[in-house]
């Protein structure tokens, strides 16, 4: 029914908001539209009173119908108004009840279905109820929890904190904190808790709580913190860039990155890492990085980057994509390592390997490579290739007389004068000592080579000023060129060396061009000299060992290490051939060092494995013995190989007494104090002085094979041998006779009370593996 002034009694009452009386429906014009329906129901009168709240809200109309026309009296009107008021009260109360019920159901639904643990506790801290989430978190059912104190669910160390939050809630305050819970199975878990008071009419009647298990979150936070601390502690620069944002800005850089680049975090964040690139950064490397970023793939490169102050550093950069669970690349992680020092060291090592450290000139390694290249280029182009071999005249006298420092500075000054004479494509090399080589691949004629040699000699006409002293020195030069008779590049150096020797013989301070005449006698020695250099480099040497036995019993007492050369084309070369050449050229120094280290190492390996070992004797040349630092070198090798000093014997000839017997005696004394046995080899063939022999702190003397060979036929040799043996025994020295080849020699020396014997009668020099197969006692039948 519409609310209207002319719609029956009820519509009019609602419209006018007052009591409307229809005494007779049959005649009341307001019932025009509803009259027939009302009369059909037998209704004849209607009294309608609006139902209005105290706030003036229209709730409806209270209507009273009669079967007969009727008019109300004052009492009836009062009752109608009372009925309307009661109806309004009932409707409001019903509405409030429904609203309250809805609130209760909403609260109940929120409480029960909340993803976090929700619970209510009384003012004493005991559970009244809880939801399923708390049951899941704690492992206890609601039935188990109700009536129990909240502190029963937390670790004892946290009870005081929990009680304080309950006290605050009872006082009307809310608290948010973290605690440690104890699960029903006894395990612990981290809880994030909120407590707030439940107040009714201003009075706190209980406490509500909401909690969530944050164990995983704290674990992740700890892992994240550890990861971040690890990234910050890393010595490598670490960056993270956003792969989704335009420009891929960096969103994280660690402290090492800032230290490496000079930029602060605030300056670097938001920038693309390309801001470290500069003009000298290799564009090819940059393209490789861009391709990897575009394809979301890994890349490792080394590139030149620029610091904030403009200085450069070499960056070994590794970039990896970071993908999410769906496989989408969201970020790029970059690991940066400053390898500038490492790269500089590598360049320094490469430089040192290819250059002479004193003069800065290329060394023999570079010469070999360049000579090989230029030789074959010259052969292919049929062009002229000239090599000039230069050796300073009288340098040794200056070096020995004025000292190595002056000698070194003179060599540097010589190199400085020679260097400006280099033509386009020429190379100046310092070989060793006072030897230099010019490689000239672009000369038009041999006459230009002669002119070049003369210019080299002219350099030495003016003296060299070293520390205010004018030093005069000249040079000899040997020249060779490639022609059809030269088959290998190294032959050019050999030919130039032969020509140099000829220049020396002609009085020095001159040059000679190799012609191939009159050089056959020395050619083999020159070839051997250069092959020795390669043999040391290519490890072509091997040690053989020959036993030294007791004269009477044949029992092995020690072994001697003897070097053998496995030449790649000549086969096995006797030391009697190459040792003299090595002594002439000074190559005996590195060769002797190799023998000493190799012998000690091989014996130390056997000793460490607990196998049978004998003291090993190593021959030491006079040049090696006299070299500065020899004693330190021996000590260092023993320490390096861990060979007991008692297992090492050093054999040296009487020539060590030349040019300083007192120093030799002192050095041998030091060796003896170290526990090393010292033997005088080839006794009686060199510088023999009984007075020095008396003072030498040696252990043994070894008779040269020249005495032993004729001991059975030469009365004088036999007498000499007997005299040496008798004298040595009176001086408490052990006597070793070498070169024993037949049983008669052995028997004769046994009768003469010689202590030890060595020779083919017992064993030839053999490799170590074969030596280890020999029995402890050797006889003539064993060889």
Summarised one tens digit per residue, pLDDT across range 586-618 is: 778 889 999 999 999 999 999 999 999 999 999
pLDDT value of residue 119: 92
Between strands 541-550 and 756-758, the pairing is antiparallel
pLDDT at 204 over 60: yes
Q: What is the pLDDT of residue 444?
A: 84
Torsion, Cα of 693, 695, 699, 703 (10° steps): 0
| Number of residues in the chain | 783
Over residues 245-279, the pLDDT tens digits come to 999 999 999 999 999 999 999 999 999 989 999 99
- What are the residue ranges of helices labelled H in 586-689? 588-608, 622-626, 630-641, 661-673
Q: Averaged over 144-158, what is the pLDDT?
A: 92
- Residue 60's DSSP bridge partners are 51
Taking the C-alpha atoms of residue 241 and residue 232, their distance in angstroms, rounded to an integer, is 16
DSSP label at 142?
H
Q: Which helix (H) or strand (E) holds 36?
A: helix 35-40
Neighbouring residues of 149: CB distance < 8 A, sequence distance ≥ 6: 124, 125, 126, 127
Which range (331-335, 520-524, 597-601) has the least confidence?
Answer: 520-524
- Chain center to CA of 612: 41
The whole-angstrom separation of Cα 711 and Cα 723 is 13
pLDDT band at 6 (very low <50, low <70, confident <90, very high): confident
User: According to the model, what pLDDT value does residue 521 have?
Assistant: 40
In tens, the pLDDT along 219-245 reads 988 888 888 888 888 889 999 999 999
Q: Under a CB-based contact definition with an 8 Å cutoff, are residues 634 and 602 in contact?
A: no
Among 507, 522, 659, 640, which Cα is nearest to 581's?
Answer: 522
Task: Kindly tell me if the per-residue pLDDT of 29 is higher than 70.
Answer: yes
pLDDT at position 573 over 50: yes
Look at 71-75, 107-111, 249-253 and tell me which has the smallest mean pLDDT: 107-111
Asked whether residue 122 carries a pLDDT value surpassing 70, the answer given is yes
Say whether pLDDT at 780 is over 50: yes
Residue 527 is predicted with a pLDDT of: 63
Lowest-confidence range among 391-405, 684-698, 753-767?
Answer: 684-698
CA gap 600, 642 in Å, rounded: 8
* pLDDT at residue 367 greater than cutoff 80: yes
Per-residue pLDDT at 689:
53
List of E strands, 400-540:
427-430, 435-440, 464-466, 469-471, 474-481, 511-513
653 φ, ψ to 5°?
A: -85, 170
Q: Is the pLDDT of residue 706 over 50?
A: yes
The rounded Cα 57 to chain-centroid distance in angstroms is: 86
pLDDT of residue 519: 47
Cα–Cα distance measured from residue 239 to residue 14, given in angstroms and rounded to the nearest whole number: 77
% of the chain with per-residue pLDDT over 70:
96
pLDDT (0 to 100) of residue 137: 93
- Please give the pLDDT value at position 538: 86
C-alpha distances in Å from residue 122, one per residue of 119, 137, 171: 10, 21, 13
- As a whole number, the mean pLDDT across the chain is 89
What pLDDT, on a 0 to 100 scale, did the predictor assign at position 517? 56
| Residues 6+ away with beta carbon under 8 Å from 599 | 543, 561, 616, 618
Return the beta strands (E) in 385-515 as ranges.
386-393, 427-430, 435-440, 464-466, 469-471, 474-481, 511-513
Least reliable range by pLDDT among 397-401, 432-436, 590-594: 397-401
- Whether residue 239 contacts residue 273, with contact meaning beta carbons closer than 8 Å, is answered with yes
């Amino acid at each position: 029914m519409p609310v209207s002034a002319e719609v029956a009694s009820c519509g009019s009452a609602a419209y006018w908001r007052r009591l409307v009386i229809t005494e007779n429906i049959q005649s009341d014009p307001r019932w025009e539209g509803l009259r027939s329906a009302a009369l059909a129901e037998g209704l004849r009168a209607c009294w309608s009173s609006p139902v209005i709240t105290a706030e003036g809200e229209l709730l409806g109309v209270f209507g009273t119908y009669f079967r007969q026309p009727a008019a109300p009296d004052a009492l009836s009107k009062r009752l109608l108004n009372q009925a309307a008021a009661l109806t309004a009260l009932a409707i409001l109360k019903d509405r409030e009840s429904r609203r309250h019920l809805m609130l209760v159901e909403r609260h109940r639904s929120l409480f029960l279905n909340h993803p976090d643990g929700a619970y209510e506790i009384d003012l004493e801290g005991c559970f009244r109820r809880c939801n399923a989430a708390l049951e899941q978190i704690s492992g206890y059912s609601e039935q188990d929890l109700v009536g129990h104190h909240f502190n029963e669910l937390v670790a004892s160390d946290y009870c005081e904190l929990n009680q304080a939050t309950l006290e605050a809630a009872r006082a009307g305050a809310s608290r948010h904190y973290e605690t440690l819970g104890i699960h029903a199975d006894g395990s612990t878990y981290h809880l994030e808790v909120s407590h707030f008071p439940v107040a009714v009419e201003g009075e706190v009647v209980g406490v509500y709580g909401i909690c969530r298990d944050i164990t995983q979150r704290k674990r992740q936070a700890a892992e994240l913190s550890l990861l971040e601390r690890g990234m910050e502690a890393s010595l490598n620069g670490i960056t993270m860039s956003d792969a989704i944002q335009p420009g891929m800005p960096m969103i994280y850089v660690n402290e090492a990155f800032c230290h490496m680049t000079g930029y602060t975090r605030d300056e670097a964040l938001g920038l693309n890492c390309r801001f470290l690139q500069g003009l000298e950064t290799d564009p090819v490397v940059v393209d490789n990085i861009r391709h990897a970023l575009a394809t979301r793939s890994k890349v490792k490169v080394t590139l030149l980057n620029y610091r904030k102050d403009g200085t450069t550093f070499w960056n070994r950069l590794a970039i990896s994509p970071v993908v999410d669970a769906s496989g989408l690349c969201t970020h790029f992680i970059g690991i940066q390592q400053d390898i500038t020092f490492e790269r500089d060291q590598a360049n320094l090592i490469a430089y040192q390997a290819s250059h002479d450290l004193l003069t800065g000139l290329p060394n023999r390694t570079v010469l070999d490579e360049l000579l090989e290249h230029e030789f074959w280029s010259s052969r292919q182009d049929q062009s002229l290739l000239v090599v000039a071999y230069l050796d300073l005249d009288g340098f040794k006298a200056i070096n020995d007389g004025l000292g190595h420092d002056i000698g070194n500075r003179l060599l540097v000054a010589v190199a400085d004068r020679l260097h400006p004479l280099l033509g386009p494509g020429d190379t100046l090399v310092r070989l060793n000592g006072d030897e230099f080589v010019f490689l000239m691949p672009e000369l038009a004629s041999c006459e230009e080579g002669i002119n070049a040699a003369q210019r080299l000699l002219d350099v030495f006409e003016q003296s060299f000023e070293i520390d205010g002293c004018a030093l005069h020195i000249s040079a000899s030069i040997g020249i060779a060129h490639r022609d059809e008779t030269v088959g290998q590049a190294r032959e050019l150096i050999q030919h130039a060396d032969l020509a140099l020797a000829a220049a020396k013989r002609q009085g020095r301070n001159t040059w000679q061009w190799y012609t191939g005449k009159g050089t056959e006698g020395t050619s083999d020695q020159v070839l051997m000299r250069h092959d020795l250099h390669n043999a040391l480099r290519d490890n072509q040497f091997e040690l053989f060992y020959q036993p030294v036995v007791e004269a009477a019993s044949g029992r092995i007492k020690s072994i001697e290490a003897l070097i053998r050369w496995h030449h790649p084309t000549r086969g096995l070369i006797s030391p009697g051939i190459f040792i003299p050449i090595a002594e002439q050229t000074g190559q005996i120094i590195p060769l002797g060092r190799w023998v000493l280290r190799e012998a000690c190492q091989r014996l130390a390996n056997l000793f460490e494995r607990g196998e049978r070992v004998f003291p090993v004797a190593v021959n030491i040349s006079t040049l090696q013995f006299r070299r500065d630092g020899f004693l330190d070198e021996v000590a260092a090798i023993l320490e390096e190989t861990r060979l007991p000093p008692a297992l090492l014997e050093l054999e040296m000839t009487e020539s060590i007494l030349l040019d300083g017997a007192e120093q030799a005696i002192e050095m041998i004394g030091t060796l003896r104090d170290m526990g090393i046995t010292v033997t005088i080899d080839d006794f009686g063939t060199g510088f023999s002085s009984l007075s020095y022999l008396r003072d030498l702190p040696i252990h043994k003397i070894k008779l040269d094979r020249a005495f032993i060979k004729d001991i059975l036929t030469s009365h004088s040799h036999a007498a000499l041998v007997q005299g040496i043996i008798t004298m040595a025994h009176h001086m408490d020295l052990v006597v070793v006779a070498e070169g024993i080849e037949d049983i008669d020699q052995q028997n004769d020396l046994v009768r003469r009370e010689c202590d030890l014997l060595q020779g083919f009668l017992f064993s030839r020099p053999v490799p170590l593996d074969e030596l280890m197969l020999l029995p402890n006692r050797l006889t003539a039948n064993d060889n």
